[in-house]
A and B are shown apart, each in its own frame.
Chain A
Amino acid sequence: MSRAGHRHRDVAIISFAQLPPVARDAARDEAELVQPVVNQALAEAGLTRKDIGFTVSGSCDYLIGRPFSFVSALDGVAPWPPIAESHVEMDGAWALYEAWVRLQQGDVDTALVYAYGKSSLGDLPAILTTQLDPYYLAPLGIDGISLAALQARALLDSGRASERDLAAVAAARRGGDAAALLGAAYTVAPLRAHDCPTVADGACAVVLAAGDVARRSARKAWIRGIDHRVEPHQLGSRDLTCSPSTTTAAEHAGVASLGAIDVAELHAPFSHQELILRDALGLGASVSINPSGGALVANAMMVAGLARIGSAAARIHDGTARTAVAHATSGPCLQQNLVCALAAEVSP
């Protein structure tokens, strides 16, 4: 049920598969990254390609510098005879959103969503600069880590977090001792290497189902609501210390109606962003945050957001959680945010 009272068609995540993220996977091309996760997700869902009504992917051609690499990746899905297919040049979480919207039409009951990213071929900071405002930001050549560092400083200045708090997030995700981490040199002050994501090559896939297919499925994490919101692209027009778009998306996704939240998978590539997101979602100490390790530990570009949703769903599938919140982000300094509310029980 949405906030407006409009009844959505119930859709469940019925399987999730991902490659173990690695720093560099030179041997596999994009189709070979996609094929194993698609095959595994379909097998776990008990479906074949012929059973899938809609296929959609998220990726970014700039990562490997090859136009239409997302078309090459389709080889990994075996799209023959011709399939109904779509693509977003974004994290796969937004592809999942498109699939969820597609399933609302009611004429198909299943959707395959996948994402892949191969950052090891290019210069990721320079590639991320090309997504910025081409008039005022891109000509300065500011990179993603520098932008995150500006946000981190703003958060520190607000008094709501300290460098020790950032190190505590890093220690919780990566292991190690927060106090010892503070001895490391700055990468771009106030961020140290442990505050910045470990960039990876990877891929993941999710199968969504509605109607009888969902009800018959052995595993289901019901999407109780999903929404995404964007903030102004001009950094100086934003309060970088909070994430109002995450809060709004959570309201519209019906996170409040979940009751107690067992697990939250937050797409926070930088340690301070996890703190901002916890605040934005009002997550208390009882919530298990990023049990998967999160994007700080393995940031496969275009994959990490969808992997948060898949990882949260997997906790519901294995029975270790009844409710979960998954979050994905896109753009500099948490510019755009998606929130997905998941539960073991279908909407009341």
Chain B
Amino acid sequence: MDRDDGVLEAPYRLEYTYQRSTGPVIGRFLTGLRDGQLEGVRTAAGTVMVPPLEYDTQGAATGEAVKVGPAGTVTTWAWVTEPRREHPLTQPFAWALIKLDGADTAMLHAVDAGSIAAMRTGLRVTPRWRAARTGSIRDLECFIPADAASAAVADAAAAAPSVTLFPSPVRLDYTVTAGHHLSVYLRAMQDKRIVGGRCPSCTKVYLPPRGACPTCGVPAAETVDVADHGVVTTFCIIRIPFDAAPFPPPYVAVAVLLEGADLPIYHLVRGIEPEQARMGMRVKAVWVPDEQLGPTLASIKWFEPTGEPDADRAQIERHL
């Protein structure tokens, strides 16, 4: 995608598919939720903490489980008019800290109050349980005003093992930007040009260009064209198949020092048996057909040997 400021951007999703182990204290609470029960834990000072933690705020280990609720009292609240994707309810709702009956600390959850006018600090609320429960804080769908509650009792749970693990996925969506210098580099690719950036101080040509010369501390802003051929500085042979592999193994990945550049770029070499790959080999870019060119390094399909005599090691030594 292209914005009017000339900077390339693209959607990007970061996901972690973690599971979390609960430990005995949190596991007992989540097991209780799955079974339709609310439990706190007694602290060394004799108070009841909900939701339970392993240690109290003074650092003392907490002890026995204590039944609490199911009803409770709102101690503070906030009204959401436009729920987010991650929120527990899709209609406008309140977040609330709720002190369950028998507890000394308040827990966070959502209250499905219908309207902001129905919410107040001190409101009595009671849980609305999900029918299908797995051992999660979201087994409580939300709380509802107590006077609206017909049946706050959860369905009896079948005997099942204690909760020790639960899925804890993270999903974050970004629109990443390439920045000015990388955008210039990527855009040139669609014209079969390779553009580097020269540091005015050390005169080194960076590929891709970058806004900051890491040795001189000044912008490496002057753009210069570099050749689409150069010398292999180092290489490796991939022999293990994996999902994103571009070819069936074995194939060769190389660092290529293009003529006119001081830093190598990383790409693939085809057109030789892997065993023939070597440092100093001269190679040339093979571009995709013109109609497939785009602002991406993938505009170069791969590199192929030119057949010219290899470069001396002295020519690449500084770039290893």
Report which residue of A62, A65, A143, A234 has the largest number of chain B beta carbons within 10 angstroms of its beta carbon.
A234
Decide if the interface of chain B is mainly helix, strand, loop or mixed: mixed
Which of B169-177, B238-246, B254-262 lies at the binding interface? B169-177
Chain B proximity of A126: nearest CB distance (Å)? 6
Q: Measured between alpha carbons, how far is A76 from B212 in the docked complex, in Å?
A: 6
Given A75-B210, A188-B78 in contact, is the A136-B86 Cβ separation under 8 Å?
no
B105 contacts A135, C-beta separation under 8 Å:
no
B176 lies within 8 A of A64 (CB): yes
A242 to chain B, nearest CB (A): 14
Interface contact A78-B216, CB-CB below 8 Å: yes
Complex Cα distance, B77 from A146, in Å, reads 9
Report if B68 contacts A (CB, 8 A).
no
B179 touches A28 (CB 8 A): yes
Contact A236 B108 (CB under 8 A): yes
Cβ contacts under 8 Å, B9 to chain A: 26
Which residues of chain A are within 8 angstroms of B121 by Cβ–Cβ distance?
Answer: 153, 157
Interface string of B63-82 (1 = CB under 8 A from A): 00000000000011111110
A108 at the interface (CB under 8 A from B): no
Is A258's beta carbon under 8 Å from chain B?
A: no
A190 — which chain B residues lie within 8 A by C-beta? 78
Residue contact A126 to B86, C-beta cutoff 8 Å: yes
Using a CB-CB cutoff of 8 Å, which residues 1-27 of chain B contact chain A?
3, 5-7, 9, 12, 14, 20, 22, 26
Whether the Cβ atoms of B176 and A121 lie closer than 8 Å is yes
Scan A179-208; emit 1 where CB is below 8 A from any B CB, else 0.
000000010111100000000000000000
Q: A121-B177, A127-B172, A140-B108 are in contact. Are A135 and B22 (CB under 8 A)?
A: yes
Tell me, in angstroms, the Cα distance from A27 to B210 when the chains sit together: 12
B315 at interface, CB cutoff 8 A: no
Query: Interface size (A, Cβ < 8 Å)?
Result: 59
- Give Cα A326–Cα B138 distance, bound, in whole angstroms: 40
State the Cβ distance, A271 to closest chain B Cβ, in Å.
15
A41 close to chain B: CB less than 8 A: no
The stretch that binds A, out of B45-53, B153-161, B188-196, is B45-53
Pick the residue among B53, B137, B174, B217 that contacts A121 (CB under 8 A): B174
Q: Distance (Å) between the CB of B216 and the closest chain A CB?
A: 6
Which 9 residue pairs spanning A and B have beta carbons closest together?
A141-B86, A78-B217, A149-B78, A32-B211, A236-B106, A189-B79, A31-B212, A29-B179, A75-B214
Please list 29 pairs of residues, one from A and one from B, whose beta carbons are closer than 8 Å in the complex, sorted by A's number. Answer: A26-B9, A26-B179, A28-B180, A29-B210, A29-B211, A31-B214, A32-B179, A32-B211, A35-B211, A75-B214, A79-B214, A122-B172, A122-B173, A122-B174, A122-B175, A126-B84, A129-B86, A135-B137, A138-B168, A139-B168, A140-B110, A146-B80, A146-B95, A149-B79, A152-B78, A188-B78, A188-B81, A236-B99, A237-B49
Contacts A152-B78, A153-B76 known; list 11 others, CB within 8 Å.
A26-B7, A27-B7, A32-B212, A39-B217, A76-B217, A134-B20, A135-B26, A136-B108, A150-B77, A189-B116, A235-B106
Give A residues with C-beta under 8 Å from B. 26-29, 31-32, 34-35, 38-39, 49, 62, 64-66, 74-80, 121-123, 125-127, 129-130, 134-143, 146, 149-154, 157, 186, 188-191, 232, 234-237, 240
